[in-house]
Homo-oligomer: A and B are copies of this chain.
Amino acid sequence: MAESVVAQKVEQLQVNGAKEEDEDLVTPWEVTTTKATGIDYDKLIVKFGCRKLDDDIIARFERITGHKAIPMLRRGMFFAHRDFSAILDRKEQGKPFYLYTGRGASSGSLHLGHLVPFIFTKWLQEVFDVPLIIQMTDDEKFLWKDMKVDDAKKMARENMKDIISVGFDASKTFIFNDFDYMCPPFYENIVKIWKVVNANQARSIFGFTPEDCMGKAAFPAVEAAPCFASSFPHIFGAKGKKNDIPCLIPCAIDQDPYFRMCRDVAPRLKASKPSLIFSTFLPALQGAQTKMSASEPNTCIFLDDTAKQIKNKINKYAFSGGQQTLEEHRAKGGNCDVDISYQFLRFFLDDDEKLEEIRVKYTKGELLSGELKALAIEEVQKIVGVMAERRKTVTDATVDEFTKIRPLAFEY
């Protein structure tokens, strides 16, 4: 039994082409690397066939929108894309598009790693001023985990509250979970996708095996269908006329297989291809070999962690790039590339000069690990604190407001 599981795993990896000796593993279900500096994202760009989000395109984004890119965009946490230029073209020409992102709810409270794409998406929505659609894949979690339908739905709803706490505008944002939203226009797009991808292709994209349940093979179309505006007639108007409104999907790079498939099938469905902008992963406290994982609470900062818990976790667990002794640190300096506190500051600290000063001082050994941790603690407490405060005001009624079938504050 164990052997067959291992064989299956190895085969799956071979199918995905995701792991060879010393290679990183990045699939929608697993992300690991052996390197303390984390995933080699440049290699991933080549492997996945997406494009680097380079300085030119970020400069063009800033020119067209009149907004300075936030840290996670200008510092490469959002590092790759597919057809982001096409979305910038539409912004320039005043043509409509929308944002689509999502989450598979598998834990009660969200951690900071979950929230990164949402923090970015919120900012992007303000800059672009377009509708945002957020999918909660409770059906996926039910299929993949040992979980009841009602528990998957409940978890999706609880997660919605955390997501709403990032600060989204209900008049411009539609949140849904698959189990409760499933409806004819959505299903029609799912079936259309089902028709043009065969089991062989699904296997080569996702690595499914014949031992996987039927639902796993059926599910990718459910994550792909919201890429088509006609899945949401209450937002984009009557069916059949609106599949020329494309979407931009901000997401972590591990979700790419779904949308690679979706981009392949879009022309056959006479629909616009979705554009994508990909984030790296917020590293686990223990180091960049893996991302934060809710099933191992000590790897994460949760949205409901108190200021004190945040302080304790970072002090206790955040992997340090500093030296073993004070003398050694003063002499040799620290290594920012593997230091998790520094990585958090890269994600969240807006002040470029201050960040550079921290980097230089830490590298020289002038700044100590404890001091660097204190700076990260302050920044993370600030980010989480604002959201946690907002979270207190989010009730079931707030969720109902976001999930209600209704037009958004845009006309099509």
Q: Give the chain B neighbours of A182 by CB distance below 8 A.
A: 182-184, 186-187
A347 partner residues in chain B, CB cutoff 8 A: none
With A179-B187, A191-B142 already in contact, the answer to whether A214 and B210 are too (CB < 8 A) is: no
The answer to whether A199 and B179 have CB atoms under 8 Å apart is no
Answer yes or no: A325 CB below 8 A from chain B CBs: no
**A193: which B residues are within 8 A, CB to CB?**
214
| Chain B binder among A162-170, A200-208, A289-297 | A200-208
* Chain A interfacial residues counted at CB < 8 A: 38
Known: A203-B210, A217-B217, A218-B218. A184 touches B180 (CB 8 A): yes
Residues of B within 8 Å of A149, CB to CB, are 188, 191-192
Interface 1/0s, chain A 36-47, versus B by CB < 8 A?
000000000000
Is A129 an interface residue when CB atoms closer than 8 A count as contact? no
Q: Kindly state the separation between the CA atoms of A149 and B184 in the bound complex, as whole angstroms.
A: 11
Give the number of times this chain occurs in the complex, counting copies: 2
A308 within 8 A of B: no
Contact B203 A214 (CB under 8 A): no
Given contacts A187-B179, A191-B139, A194-B143, contact A214 B202 (CB under 8 A): yes
Tell me the bound Cα distance from A365 to B390 in angstroms. 92
A202 neighbours in B (Cβ, 8 Å): 214
* Complex contact A211–B199 (CB within 8 A): yes
Collect the chain B residues with CB atoms within 8 Å of residue A191's CB: 139, 142-143, 149, 179, 215
User: 7 shortest A-B CB distances, which residue pairs?
Assistant: A194-B215, A218-B218, A182-B187, A200-B210, A199-B210, A194-B214, A198-B213
Give A residues with C-beta under 8 Å from B: 139, 142-143, 149, 178-184, 186-188, 191-200, 202-203, 208-215, 217-218, 220-221
Known: A143-B194, A149-B191, A200-B210; 18 extra A-B contacts, CB below 8 A, are A139-B187, A142-B195, A179-B188, A180-B184, A182-B186, A194-B213, A194-B214, A194-B218, A198-B210, A198-B214, A199-B208, A199-B209, A199-B213, A214-B217, A214-B218, A217-B217, A218-B218, A218-B221
